[in-house]
Amino acid sequence: MPRIELPGAIDAHVHMRDPGLTQKEDWYSGTCAALRAGVVAVLDMPNNVPPVVDEASLRCKQQAAQARAVCDYGLFIAAGAQNAGSAGALREPVGLKMYLGETFGHLRIDNLDVAARHFQAWPRGRPVAVHAEGFMVAVAIALGRLFDQHVHVCHVARRTEIELLRRAKQRGLNVTCEVTPHHLFLTAEDQQGLGQLAHMKPSLGSRDDLSALWQNLDVIDLIATDHAPHTLEEKHVAQPPPGIPGLETMLPLLLTAVAEKRLSFERLMDLVVVGPARVYGLEVPASSQVVVDTDASYELHAKDLSTKCGWTPFEGWRVRGRILSTTLRGMLVYDGAQVLAPPGYGQPICVRWSDRRLGTKHSSP
């Protein structure tokens, strides 16, 4: 059985739902899923109940993570209608999250004045991560240029978006971007079989969109899951909340792409370790590694997952590459059968802020 050792991955876009919506996920269940998936650190989004928009809501979330997380973590603060002048005063957040498109929760900003005030007030050198689709990608890039900010475009899903980002990078603009596994492996055609489970923001694209993401993989700075769990009951209604679980399927899907020669091990590590650390100025957790059986072939099933929501859009998919163990900060935290880290073992991931401009110099896929 061939075994290889890889650095622990960083998932730079997750929704742990804790506090406020813990029937979907919580810090313990979600970070257990992370360790089982070879992920040693996660960056959690701020659309909680209540949303993370000030010091009080940030402290509440920090306390929940401190008590229950078993992997390391970082937290975002949300751009809201009233906090443009105060969000940047908090040093703990890994970045500002700005919702310029429709998604889960009530944080969407559709007022240009509010968006501009956030871009103007946010400290330089700290990323502004945007949920932006279509035309709003261009708006976010333009605001970043006008206010000399580093813009990170989350979950790019369309050919027009990735080609626009390529042009922006070619012109030297301070912009980075990410793509999700579900936009790399699923299309709108899959929605016929998945039904409401495939409802997400951004929605699944066409085969041409999927091909464009793979063709422009050198433009992409990191792969992140946008792990956004909802219960099956919530998904099986006329207007379900958008989002899918993804933590435990990311590395198996990407390792399968490596086995199929669509991706190199080096580029995989760049996308799930080096890229997240570079974009957000993170220190990769020390003495952390994942042992993988690269020849293992098996099917993905919800019954084998730790995520509390209990389903996956990749049910029954055959993949290559099984996580045999995960080590975090020198401790064996997952032994291939169970998570060994106690609740609270996770620590805030260290962030090194600097006024840096990020280029896009990657090897081929």
Largest CA distance in the chain: 58
Rg (CA), the chain: 19
What is the structure's pLDDT at 106? 77
* Residue 43 near residue 65, CB atoms below 8 Å: no
SS3 60: helix
Task: Compute the distance between CA of residue 32 and CA of residue 54 in angstroms, rounded to an integer.
Answer: 28
Distance of alpha carbon 7 from alpha carbon 200, whole angstroms: 30
Q: How far apart are CA 16 and CA 133, in angstroms?
A: 23
The strand ranges marked E within 55-173 are 72-75, 77-78, 96-99, 128-131, 151-153
Residue with tokens 């973590």: 73
Closest alpha carbon to 353 in 273, 276, 280, 275:
280
Is this prediction's pTM over 0.85?
yes
DSSP state of 349: P
Q: What is the distance between the alpha carbons of residues 219 and 311, in angstroms, rounded to a whole number?
A: 31
Kindly state the helix (H) or strand (E) to which residue 177 belongs, with its residue range. strand 175-179
Taking the alpha carbons of 52, 50, 310, 31 in that order, is the dihedral positive or negative?
A: positive
d(CA 283, CA 297) in angstroms, rounded, equals 33
Encoding tokens for residue 364?
């081929």
Q: Chain-centre distance of CA 98, in angstroms? A: 14
Mean pLDDT by 10 residues, the chain (365 residues): 91 97 97 98 96 97 98 97 93 96 78 96 95 97 97 98 98 98 98 94 97 98 98 94 97 97 96 98 94 97 96 98 97 98 97 66 48
Q: Domains in the chain, please, with CATH? A: 3-334 (3.20.20.140)
* Residues listed for the chain: 365
State in Å, rounded, how far the first CA of the chain is from the last one: 26
Give the pLDDT of residue 362.
Answer: 47
What is the rounded distance in angstroms from the CA atom of residue 43 to the CA atom of residue 157? 20
Check residue 188 and report its DSSP letter.
Answer: G
The amino acid that residue 79 corresponds to is A
CB atoms within 10 A of CB 149: 23
Cα gap 225→245, rounded to integer Å = 8
Residue from 229, 278, 267 nearest 10 by CA = 278
pLDDT at 364: 45
Q: What are phi and psi of 4, to 5 degrees?
A: -130, 150
pLDDT of residue 109: 93
From start to end of 132-284, where are the E strands? 151-153, 175-179, 222-223
**Short-list 141, 86, 93, 90, CA closest to 118:** 86
